Copies of this chain bind each other. A is one copy, B any other.
Amino acid sequence: MTTAAPRELTRNQSLVLGALTQAEGPLSAYTILDRLRDEGFRAPLQVYRALDKLLASGLVHRLESLNAFIACAHPDCHGHGMIAFAICGDCGQVNEFTDDAIRERLGAWSAANDFQTEKTIVEIRGHCAACRAH
């Protein structure tokens, strides 16, 4: 997997990335929009267009099971092929991690089935230790 061009960010892209970086958890596109109204954002498309670029460059990840977005937890080493997320349904905290064995197994399945992988989604939903401690 290769890292996308780290081209300079535009104003809108920087604002969206900033909103996600400041947030302590994932944000929906519409929540981002609300948080950037003071900066002049008026329409969802302004957010989605910025997100498209940020996703392509690996600076932001999409959580499919949440329809939400989060800043990459490893801002220096984006671009690896498989990223997994553990999502606590109680506090909303997200833990980002990678696992070479999982990546290898998914790669093996793709090879065995002649399937060309474009994106891999691994998300585990559950309850974190802190929340389970009541």
Contacts and interface: CB of A to CB of B under 8 A. Distances in A.
A119 to B, nearest CB: 5
A122 B121 contact: yes
What's the interface size class on A, roughly?
A: 20 to 34
Contact of A110 (B89, B119, B124): B124
Given A102-B105, A115-B86, A110 B95 contact: no
Contact of A127 (B64, B116, B129): B116
Interface in A66-121: 84, 86, 88-89, 95, 97, 99, 101-102, 105-106, 109-110, 113-121
Contacts of A128: 113-116
Given A117-B125, A121-B125, 16 more contacts: A64-B64, A64-B123, A97-B109, A99-B109, A102-B102, A106-B124, A113-B129, A114-B129, A115-B126, A115-B127, A118-B125, A118-B127, A120-B124, A121-B121, A121-B122, A121-B124
